Structure 1
Amino acid sequence: MSDSLLDIRGLEVAYGAVQGLFDVDMEVHAGEIVAIIGPNGAGKSTVIKAVIGLQPARGGSINFDGQDITHLPAHRIPPLGIGYVPQGRIVFARM
């Protein structure tokens, strides 16, 4: 692992039998501004949902500030300093 604030390596996410992400790597350093862009269905939201714990990773790792957060439950992510504000959508459907 490097000195990055967010370090994603080999991330894999599936929706049932459908592979949503395969072998995604990403590094974000403190102070950087990053945009994840791509067409519909490219996996942009899936990457974010995996980072914030709403979509479990099937493989790979997600490290934030040196801590492995790959399998942390969603309620343990915000105290670390990670947040998500969706565009007009419900994040937790059962709330």
Structure 2
Amino acid sequence: MLTAFLHGFILSAGLILPPGAQNVFLINQGANHKNFIHALPAVIAAGLSDTLLIVLSVAGVSLIILSVPALQLGMYIIGFIFLTYMSISLWFTKAETA
């Protein structure tokens, strides 16, 4: 039981701790809004998303995805399209000068 708990804890830490786009977004929300209540919807949505990600990961969704090659390929294609779109949109976004 302790081994399963430790594996789940390490997995959840690995999914949450790395700074990513979601964490940067939340930091920007906190910096841009003077009241915590205005940033709260973003914080709640991020918390629920992270919880869902952890539950799905611990439940073994990755095993299902890896066992179905077509599903794995589909995930790679969706990820590639998303990252390409984000890269292009960031490339053509004009920087704001203060």
Which has a greater percent of strand?
1
Which has a greater percent of helix?
2
Greater RCO between the two (CA within 8 Å, min separation 6)?
Answer: 1
- Output the TM-score relative to the length of structure 1: 0.22
Specify the structure having the higher radius of gyration (Cα). 2
